[in-house]
Chain A
Amino acid sequence: MNQWEVVIGIETHAQLATVSKIFSGASTAFGAAPNTQACAVDLALPGVLPVLNKKAVECAIRFGLAIGAEVAPKSVFARKNYFYPDLPKGYQISQMDLPVVVGGNITLQVGQGDKAYEKVVRLTRAHLEEDAGKSLHEDFQGKSGIDLNRAGTPLLEIVSEPDMRSSDEAVAYAKSLHALVQWIGICDGNMQEGSFRCDANVSVRPKGQAEFGTRREIKNLNSFRFLKEAIDFEVQWQINEIEEGRRIVQATVLFDPDTGETRMMRSKEDAHDYRYFPDPDLLPLVISSEWMARVQGELPELPGQMRERFVSELGLSAYDASALTASQEIAGFFQATVAGAGKANAKPCANWVMVDLAARLNKEGKDIADSPVSATQLAGLILRIADNTISNNIAKKVFEALWNGEGASADEVIDKQGLKQITDSGAIASLVDEVLAANPANVAEFKAGKEKAFNALVGQVMKAAKGKANPQQVNDLLKQKLAG
């Protein structure tokens, strides 16, 4: 394994979040009864013609601008000809020689902690095309059913350069892309419904070799886990083949999630000649600089820009900044929390959002958008920690109370439940005295040099204070009295 280098390029089909199809007025909503969302154009009745949906083009422009690519001032739709029952026209309208987006790149964070590193993946192109319908091979007793609801759904096919060198990098790329298309509002990212699916081109070569090995393409991976499993299996399979003296033959393969294996779908020899040519029903797509400027003006701050700002303005680590820009929702929540708690508290805000809130949401299977604790409430809580009104431990209680709707704000919960931290040194001193008097054994152990006994005494004082005593003051006073 160690003398082999893995080379991966990824093609992604992102379904664009338009209301209607790319070349017709039919709805793109998911889940309708079969063939109820297929109009004359989608059915390819004789005589019908395609008309390009401008919203789909705007999605492509958004994407191009977001990855720093060239948005082509002129691109061309081409017909990809092949016969299949779920392809009503007998050709798919796509883009071939002149795609709408050329170049660009995406910066990824790969791995976590010490092993984390940043990687830039270059993109080759992205082009607009229409999806096909669905063939339903079950439930029809020897016949196949065709559902054309999906036919004509707009897709952006995003093609990366073969820049990834491990399945981890491939997954990090797919996740970054997945986050980005949702961030800029062009795709709902729903992988179960097929809104975002990846094909991975995988090859291996001896380390140090300049030219690529022969690649095999794994089709239609619709989860990050399958992407990783499929690549890992494929890489090992290819290495074994080569080590056993066989050659890799260019092919398209499918991944079977049940067996965890890839299997051959067709070899290059079986590949179709798609007889691409410019679609004479559609004029070249011309994107003016004005149109591009308008779309640019509507773009939100991009995750990369935001990440840099979080590091430079808020002093967060690159890792935290990256985690907090995983989605618009998380970033929005975090920024609203900082707005309430102040920039000086950015680090605790980051921790609360990424750790405590995330864990709680995760436990309940909730999205941050549906968080029962609002950013304003969380900010209020963080402010009370910062000004020593409550300790971190008590804060967790207050957070839980807010989660359960036991108060409108942290202050209300603290007030109602009497959780205000005891900072009056007189009150703490008397608690300390009581504890020392009641636990002579611990005192003796401590004096005999057992450090652990000290912690037990701190625990006793906190217990007596119902957790509300300022821990630092308790420590200091205990030390004083024991020394005295």
Chain B
Amino acid sequence: MINASLKQLSQALAARQISSVELSTLFLDRIERLNPTLNAFVTVDREKSLLMARAADARIAAGTAGPLTGIPIAQKDIFCAEGWTTTCGSKMLANFVSPYDATVIHKMHAEAGLVSLGKTNMDEFAMGSSNETSFFGPVRNPWDSSRVPGGSSGGSAAAVAARLAPAATGTDTGGSIRQPAALCNLTGLKPTYGVVSRYGMIAFASSLDQAGPMAASAEDCALLLNTMVGFDERDSTSLDRPVEDYTAGLDKPLNGLRIGLPKEFFGEGCDAEVMAAVRAAIAEYEKLGATTVEVSLPNSHLSVPAYYVIAPAEASSNLSRFDGARYGYRAPDYANLEQMYEKTRAQGFGAEVKRRIMIGAYVLSHGYYDAYYLQAQRIRRLIADDFVAAFKQCDVIMGPTSPSTAFKLGEKAADPVQMYLSDIYTIAVNLAGLPGMSVPCGFVGGLPVGLQLIGNYFAEGQLLNVAHRYQQATDWHQRRAVIA
């Protein structure tokens, strides 16, 4: 059961081979045993989870269950969930119990009947690529506990990779689903911006943030994505589109699929062995009937600098609400209002968050706005245009997800620029608002490598299909970390 797919779990629950309470208990016990090593979860509440599991069992008994009712999953601690401590990986919110459900949580709990096992660790306010900026300590990579799981959805990635949960939610602002998926041998999908509601998902960079599934396979991602999407009148950037079943097209053959290979993704800057694994995966696709074409994303080298203007700018404003006035952390000693703000924010935020708030405040300030913020927005438009042009020549774009496999804890922590470059291949996708995936495609020195798939707008179904067919032909995604 621990290694079962969501489809298998769904069938087992429907056939009453196992109850949701039993299944949830299985995973809760496993979390209890392994989480002290991995630090993947920051909050577990057995009672709450079992309450949901009992409700799910009742729905199954009453015949009102959906396909995923009763299946336990892990929730990134960026989603507000009523009655749950919701920290976003920060001291600032270490004591914050959400009085409401994020739309994604509501859909999963109230509609789909999924059971939340707990809240997973993450980089503080999703700012990081290694899960080392969390107030609650770093997460260990199940494939090598001296290494990072990636970030910011590092807790979700480690939890699924170590089978502490069958699947998890993540969020992706610059690669925070895809990069940890790659580093932990998972399949992860960042949907088109606007497909999943952002309501109740604590904002990092509003114009880039998007939630998505992280699981062992494309099929699991498709099932989970079905429960997450949909127009939400509480999110003005949510898109009102017909709902689709992402599992429907999984098996379509890939004959004639045109794969675009951006020359900028296959040059310098990527580990040679990682690149070899990616090229091998592309060769596998050719066997499956796909053809390749070289495309160009000429402005992609500008994506990291543009991102590190836009994302901090939005973050500096989004995080202003954490002022100690209404909820969350407040410094114990202050003489006046100014001091309350200064001390609360100095003590409540970690170094990386403060760095980005300062960058953001700087690029938005009078006299610098045009040179930084507006210029970055122009670059963003150029980057999106590059993709539009590329998709005239191909159906899906492929390349590496991350330039390296999982690095050592502490290896890049002192060098923010090196850390920022871990997302060199993923960031452009967020800037353009496109859907992107990471799919396991091999190992280097015992560490997983991810293949990145980038689709056109709303091509989530196609990406899942492309990933699924590959997973039918390969078994990289079925390999499991051995946990001591």
- Which A44-90 residues have C-beta < 8 A from chain B? 44-52, 79, 81, 83, 85, 88-90
CB <8 Å contact, B237 and A283: yes
B430 → chain A closest CB, angstroms: 12
CA distance A180 to B86 in the complex (A): 48
B11 interface contact, C-beta 8 A: no
Given contacts A275-B361, A281-B236, contact A45 B99 (CB under 8 A): yes
Summarize B's interface: helix, strand, loop or mixed. Answer: loop
CB <8 Å contact, B366 and A273: yes
- Which B127-169 residues have C-beta < 8 A from chain A? none
Convert B311-328 into 0s and 1s, putting 1 for each residue whose CB lies closer than 8 angstroms to a CB of A.
001101101111101110
CB <8 Å contact, A46 and B207: no
Q: Find B323's partner among A50, A52, A90 (CB 8 Å cutoff).
A: A90
Q: Which residue of A lies closest to B88 (CB)?
A: A46
Convert B224-262 into 0s and 1s, putting 1 for each residue whose CB lies closer than 8 angstroms to a CB of A.
000000000111110000000000000000000000000
- For A275, the chain B residues whose CB sits under 8 A away are 316-317, 361, 364-366, 369
- For B206, the chain A residues whose CB sits under 8 A away are 280-281
A40 interface contact, C-beta 8 A: yes
- For A276, the chain B residues whose CB sits under 8 A away are 364, 369
CB <8 Å contact, B98 and A46: yes
CB <8 Å contact, A81 and B88: no
- For B361, the chain A residues whose CB sits under 8 A away are 275
Q: Find B236's partner among A45, A81, A146, A283 (CB 8 Å cutoff).
A: A283
- For B365, the chain A residues whose CB sits under 8 A away are 273, 275
Interface residues on A, range: 20 to 34
CB <8 Å contact, A89 and B320: yes
B325 → chain A closest CB, angstroms: 5
Convert A325-352 into 0s and 1s, putting 1 for each residue whose CB lies closer than 8 angstroms to a CB of B.
0000000000000000000000000000
CB <8 Å contact, A49 and B198: yes
CB <8 Å contact, A44 and B202: no
Q: Which residue of A lies closest to B90 (CB)?
A: A46
B100 interface contact, C-beta 8 A: yes
- For A47, the chain B residues whose CB sits under 8 A away are 79-80, 98, 102, 198-203
A91 interface contact, C-beta 8 A: yes
A43 interface contact, C-beta 8 A: yes
A403 interface contact, C-beta 8 A: no
A102 interface contact, C-beta 8 A: no
A188 → chain B closest CB, angstroms: 28
- For A144, the chain B residues whose CB sits under 8 A away are 337
Q: Find A40's partner among B79, B99, B237, B320 (CB 8 Å cutoff).
A: B99
B96 interface contact, C-beta 8 A: yes
CB <8 Å contact, B98 and A85: no
- Which A229-288 residues have C-beta < 8 A from chain B? 273, 275-277, 280-283
CA distance A321 to B361 in the complex (A): 54
Convert A138-162 into 0s and 1s, putting 1 for each residue whose CB lies closer than 8 angstroms to a CB of B.
0000001010000000000000000
- For A83, the chain B residues whose CB sits under 8 A away are 320, 323, 341
Convert B192-212 into 0s and 1s, putting 1 for each residue whose CB lies closer than 8 angstroms to a CB of A.
000000111111011100000
CA distance A146 to B337 in the complex (A): 13
Given contacts A81-B364, A85-B325, contact A45 B98 (CB under 8 A): yes
CA distance A34 to B321 in the complex (A): 20
- For A51, the chain B residues whose CB sits under 8 A away are 233-236
- Which B286-345 residues have C-beta < 8 A from chain A? 313-314, 316-317, 319-323, 325-327, 337, 341
- Which B85-112 residues have C-beta < 8 A from chain A? 86, 88, 93, 96, 98-100, 102
CB <8 Å contact, B364 and A88: no
- Which A276-304 residues have C-beta < 8 A from chain B? 276-277, 280-283
Given contacts A275-B361, A280-B206, A283-B236, contact A91 B198 (CB under 8 A): no
CA distance A273 to B80 in the complex (A): 32
- For B319, the chain A residues whose CB sits under 8 A away are 90
- Which B355-375 residues have C-beta < 8 A from chain A? 361, 364-366, 369, 373
CB <8 Å contact, A81 and B325: no
CA distance A40 to B341 in the complex (A): 22
- For B80, the chain A residues whose CB sits under 8 A away are 45-47
- For A91, the chain B residues whose CB sits under 8 A away are 317, 320
Q: Which residue of A lies closest to B80 (CB)?
A: A47
- For B199, the chain A residues whose CB sits under 8 A away are 47-49
CB <8 Å contact, B317 and A277: yes
Q: Find B321's partner among A52, A89, A273 (CB 8 Å cutoff).
A: A89
Q: Which residue of B lies closest to A271 (CB)?
A: B366
Q: Which residue of A lies closest to B197 (CB)?
A: A49
- For A90, the chain B residues whose CB sits under 8 A away are 317, 319-321, 323
Q: Which residue of B lies closest to A148 (CB)?
A: B326
Q: Which residue of A lies closest to B321 (CB)?
A: A44
- For B364, the chain A residues whose CB sits under 8 A away are 81, 275-277
CA distance A49 to B325 in the complex (A): 19
- For B201, the chain A residues whose CB sits under 8 A away are 47
Q: Which residue of B lies closest to A41 (CB)?
A: B234
CA distance A44 to B88 in the complex (A): 16
- For B341, the chain A residues whose CB sits under 8 A away are 83
- For B96, the chain A residues whose CB sits under 8 A away are 46
CA distance A90 to B203 in the complex (A): 14
CA distance A47 to B327 in the complex (A): 13
CB <8 Å contact, B203 and A88: no
B99 → chain A closest CB, angstroms: 7
Q: Which residue of A lies closest to B199 (CB)?
A: A49
B317 → chain A closest CB, angstroms: 5
Among B99, B201, B314, which residue has the most Cβ atoms of chain A within 10 A? B314
- For B320, the chain A residues whose CB sits under 8 A away are 81, 83, 89-91
CA distance A280 to B365 in the complex (A): 17
CA distance A276 to B368 in the complex (A): 12
CB <8 Å contact, B317 and A46: no
Q: Which residue of A lies closest to B205 (CB)?
A: A280
CB <8 Å contact, A50 and B236: yes
A89-B321, A276-B369 are known contacts; what are 18 more A-B pairs with Cβ within 8 Å? A40-B100, A45-B327, A46-B86, A46-B202, A46-B321, A47-B79, A47-B80, A47-B198, A47-B200, A81-B317, A81-B320, A88-B325, A275-B316, A276-B364, A277-B317, A277-B373, A280-B205, A280-B207
Interface, chain A (partner B; CB < 8 A) = 40, 43-52, 79, 81, 83, 85, 88-91, 144, 146, 273, 275-277, 280-283
A-B contact pairs, 13 of them (CB 8 A): A47-B201, A49-B199, A51-B234, A88-B321, A88-B325, A90-B317, A273-B365, A275-B365, A277-B313, A277-B364, A280-B237, A280-B314, A281-B203
